[in-house]
């Protein structure tokens, strides 16, 4: 929406920019920049044990950010762990829990649409333990399940972990996590469900307890926040039973010559000096998202996505192929154009100050299953506007003509 562009300082320095790569990382509003700048200029100190004013202020703001995150996703504050990103959050679960509960003869189930960060860790766990690595494929409309029931035999009594994305970063498919979790736990009540929420949390309301999953991971930089900070939410009972992922300062209760005891959750999983400014910036980004309204964001993105599909289809006809649900479910659109390499499309669009993503989008196995080496992806956020659509479609059409094809 045009009225929100002024909140993002990057447009002041790049007034011609049409940014369509929010699925990779989002732009940052001035409120986030200001919150991080305030930490560095007003109370830049380490947190927790400093018995002086600016350290106490830093600790207070850091923990306020944790409270903001918890409220945003419907969680208890002590169930929110700060990490570097979604990738680290998922690896934490894999190392601290997965290596202790998965063995030879067990099963780990993922979907073909996963980002590498929710695919490769579980693949490696199975390779190292001798467990079976099972993959859920797509139906004809790029879904895993429309009613929560996965294909027969997917979940069994031997399935230890089910790892799924909430929203596909390639297809824009919104998986019915609540229904899938309920159906899976009906078959195997002990199954652990890990959800990659990186593409969901910035764009739609998420209540982790309502979803019924056991872990939920996401990144600050995809939700108008800074790079270098992510979140792992987990059920407290499971977090308390898990061993630490990293060892060092701040995560200990007592260190003795004969052994060490660890701090309570969440500090147990936050070894060393954390990303203080980044966590504070994440808190500011959530407040900004709340001020705009997640329903407003989601509806705006769906409206724009429908326009992009309609106008690209009108302009290119059968020369363009879209990958994702027929009716858009999120602000993500991946496509190929006959005779054009995705990188060439992105390069030519860049000449018109249009930023899109080209390649396999860290989902190589998905592209391979679709018979593709890559796609061009448009991904949206609140700062995108309807008046950009015609410019982008025209630029794509010119790119097609420039590369020697005729429409």
289: nearest Cα among 73, 96, 145: 73
Give the model's pLDDT for residue 2: 74
pLDDT in tens, 178-236: 999 999 999 999 999 999 999 999 999 999 999 999 999 999 999 999 999 999 999 99
pLDDT in tens, 31-86: 999 999 999 999 999 999 899 999 999 999 999 999 999 999 999 999 999 999 99
Which helix or strand (DSSP H or E) is residue 337 part of? strand 332-337
**Would you identify the CATH topology of the domain 293-402?**
3.90.1150
List the domain boundaries for the chain.
32-290, 293-402
Instruction: Choose, from 33, 307, 362, 403, the residue flagged as catalytic.
Output: 362
Share of the chain above pLDDT 70, in %: 99
366: confidence class by pLDDT, cuts 50, 70, 90: very high
Cα dihedral sign, 79-84-90-96: negative
**Rounded distance between C-alpha atoms, residue 149 and residue 267, angstroms:** 37
Give the model's pLDDT for residue 49: 84
Catalytic site includes residue 213:
no
Longest Cα pair distance anywhere in the chain, in angstroms? 76
Cβ neighbours around 317 below 10 Å, total: 10
Give the model's pLDDT for residue 406: 52
Per-residue pLDDT for 279 more than 60?
yes
**Rounded distance between C-alpha atoms, residue 387 and residue 353, angstroms:** 15
- Identical fold for domains 32-290 and 293-402, yes or no, is no
Give the model's pLDDT for residue 1: 72
The reply to whether omega before 266 is within 30° of 0 (cis) is yes
CATH number for the domain formed by residue range(s) 32-290: 3.40.640.10
Average pLDDT over residues 124-132: 98
Please enumerate in sequence order all residues whose Cβ is within 8 A of that of 8, keeping only pairs 6 or more positions apart, or say none.
27, 28, 29, 30, 383
146: confidence class by pLDDT, cuts 50, 70, 90: confident
Residue listed under structure tokens 């669009």: 349
Q: CA angle, 87 as apex, 85 and 89 as ends, to 5°?
A: 70
* CA dihedral of residues 160, 161, 162, 165 (deg, nearest 10): 180
Per-residue pLDDT for 407 more than 80?
no
Per-residue pLDDT for 405 more than 60?
no
114: confidence class by pLDDT, cuts 50, 70, 90: very high
CB-neighbour burial class of residue 305 (10 A; exposed 0-12, middle 13-18, buried 19+) = buried
Share of the chain above pLDDT 90, in %: 97
Residue listed under structure tokens 């992510």: 230
pLDDT in tens, 245-261: 899 999 999 999 999 99
- Across the chain, what does the average pLDDT equal? 97
Per-residue pLDDT for 404 more than 70?
no
Buried b (16+ CB within 10 A) or exposed e, 126-165: beebebbebbbebeeebbbbeebbbeeebbeeebbbbbbb
E strands along 17-158, which residues? 18-19, 80-83, 107-111, 132-136
Query: What is the distance of C-alpha 305 from the center of its chain?
Result: 19
Per-residue pLDDT for 161 more than 60?
yes
């Amino acid at each position: 929406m045009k009225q929100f562009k002024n909140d993002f300082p990057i447009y002041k320095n790049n007034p011609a920019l049409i940014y369509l790569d929010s699925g990779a990382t989002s732009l940052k509003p001035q409120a986030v920049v200001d919150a991080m700048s305030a930490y560095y200029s007003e109370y830049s100190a380490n947190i927790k044990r400093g018995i002086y004013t600016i350290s106490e202020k830093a600790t207070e703001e850091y923990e306020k950010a944790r409270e903001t995150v918890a409220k945003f996703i419907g969680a208890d504050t002590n169930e929110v762990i700060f990490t570097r990103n979604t990738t680290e959050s998922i690896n934490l679960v894999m190392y601290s829990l997965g290596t202790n509960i998965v063995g030879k003869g067990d099963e780990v189930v993922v979907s073909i649409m996963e980002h590498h960060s929710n695919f490769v860790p579980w693949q490696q766990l199975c390779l190292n333990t001798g467990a079976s690595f099972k993959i859920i494929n797509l139906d004809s409309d790029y879904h895993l399940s429309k009613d929560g029931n996965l294909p027969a035999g997917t979940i069994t009594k031997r399935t230890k972990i089910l790892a799924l994305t909430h929203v596909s970063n390639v297809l824009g498919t919104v998986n019915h996590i609540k229904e899938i979790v309920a159906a899976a736990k009906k078959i195997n009540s002990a199954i652990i469900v890990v959800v990659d929420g990186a593409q969901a949390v910035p764009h739609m309301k998420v209540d982790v307890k309502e979803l019924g999953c056991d872990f939920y991971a996401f990144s600050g930089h995809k939700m108008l926040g800074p790079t270098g900070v992510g979140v792992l939410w987990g059920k407290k009972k499971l977090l308390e039973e898990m061993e630490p992922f990293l060892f060092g300062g701040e995560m200990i209760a007592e260190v003795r010559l004969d052994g060490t005891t660890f701090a309570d959750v969440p500090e147990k999983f936050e070894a060393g000096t954390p990303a203080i400014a980044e966590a504070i910036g994440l808190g500011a980004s959530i407040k900004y998202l709340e001020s705009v309204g997640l329903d407003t964001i989601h509806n705006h993105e769906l409206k724009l996505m429908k326009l992009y599909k309609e106008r690209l289809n009108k302009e290119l006809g059968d020369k363009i192929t879209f990958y994702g649900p027929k009716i858009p479910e999120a602000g993500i659109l991946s496509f190929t154009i006959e005779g054009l390499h995705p990188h060439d499309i992105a390069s030519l669009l860049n000449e018109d100050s249009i930023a899109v993503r080209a390649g396999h989008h860290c989902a190589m196995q998905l592209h391979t299953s679709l018979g593709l080496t890559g796609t061009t992806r448009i991904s949206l956020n609140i700062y995108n506007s309807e008046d950009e659509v015609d410019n982008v479609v025209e630029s794509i059409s010119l790119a097609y003509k420039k590369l020697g094809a005729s429409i």
